[in-house]
């Protein structure tokens, strides 16, 4: 059990992150100042820097929180992984793919704002850009790992399949955070599941000779 002091520090950290997220969404990453974040969190600039020596450090905490929300555990090489995603691709059932995508979609209102801010920060901060690109590759690697375990599709095509699947997922997620008035978006998850199934799971059987 954390000590009272540790709990208080975590509360302060959580408050800074929440207020920073709100301001970044409202004003934009570059337009928001540290002083504004500190004031909104009811603390000082000095306290902010005691927790986050730089804006990049704040973005690292954003990424860590996204991984926690998505149950992405850290492996021996510090890369994150989601065993459930690996299993869904490995099993290769359309129902399982749809259920997993629906479970992620239910969390989009919670974690997508963090990713949207991270994407915005990546445009102006090379270290954040490297971190975001590495995270994308970690998710893609989970998808590839599922195909590897299933022995599905030619090995040299698995990474591009995983990349296409991730790109589709990322695009559809923006319909819930940035393009809320997209027509017929309620069908997006079903269409995405069908696309994932054919892209990652439905390997055509070889044509047998006479």
Residues 85 and 128 grouped into a single domain: yes
Estimate to the nearest angstrom the gap between the alpha carbon of 182 and the chain centroid: 21
**How many domains does the chain fold into?**
2
Tokens of 93: 């059932």
In a domain, 208, yes or no: no
Res. 3 pLDDT band, cuts 50 70 90 = confident
* CB neighbourhood size of 3 (10 A): 8
Question: Which residues lie below 8 Å from residue 42, measured CB to CB, with a gap of 6+?
Answer: 15
Give the number of other Cβ atoms within 10 Å of residue 120's Cβ: 17
pLDDT digits (tens, 9 = 90+) for 140-162: 999 999 999 999 999 999 999 99
Q: What is the CATH number of the domain that holds 31?
A: 1.10.10.60
Question: Same domain for 74 and 136?
Answer: yes
Q: Which tens digit of pLDDT belongs to each residue from 154-188?
A: 999 999 999 999 999 999 998 777 766 666 667 88
* Domain extent for 17: 1-53
């Amino acid at each position: 059990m954390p000590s009272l002091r540790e709990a208080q520090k975590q509360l302060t950290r959580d408050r800074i992150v929440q207020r920073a997220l709100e301001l970044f969404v409202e004003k934009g990453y570059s337009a928001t100042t540290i002083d504004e974040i500190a004031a909104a969190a009811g603390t000082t600039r000095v306290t902010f820097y005691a927790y986050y020596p730089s804006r990049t450090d704040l973005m690292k905490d954003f990424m860590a929180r996204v991984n926690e929300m998505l149950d992405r555990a850290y492996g021996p090489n510090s890369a994150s992984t989601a065993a459930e995603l690996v299993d869904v691709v490995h099993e290769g059932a359309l129902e399982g793919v749809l259920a997993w995508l629906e479970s992620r979609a239910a969390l989009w209102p919670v974690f997508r704002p963090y990713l949207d801010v991270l994407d915005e920060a990546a445009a102006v901060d090379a270290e954040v850009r490297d971190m975001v690109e590495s995270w994308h590759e970690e998710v893609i690697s989970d998808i590839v790992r599922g195909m590897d375990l299933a022995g599905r599709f030619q090995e040299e095509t698995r990474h591009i399949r995983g990349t296409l699947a991730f790109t589709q997922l990322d695009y559809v997620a923006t319909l819930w955070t940035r393009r809320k008035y997209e027509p017929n978006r309620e069908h997006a998850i079903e269409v995405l599941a069908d696309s994932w199934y054919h892209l990652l799971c439905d390997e055509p059987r070889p044509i047998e000779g006479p």
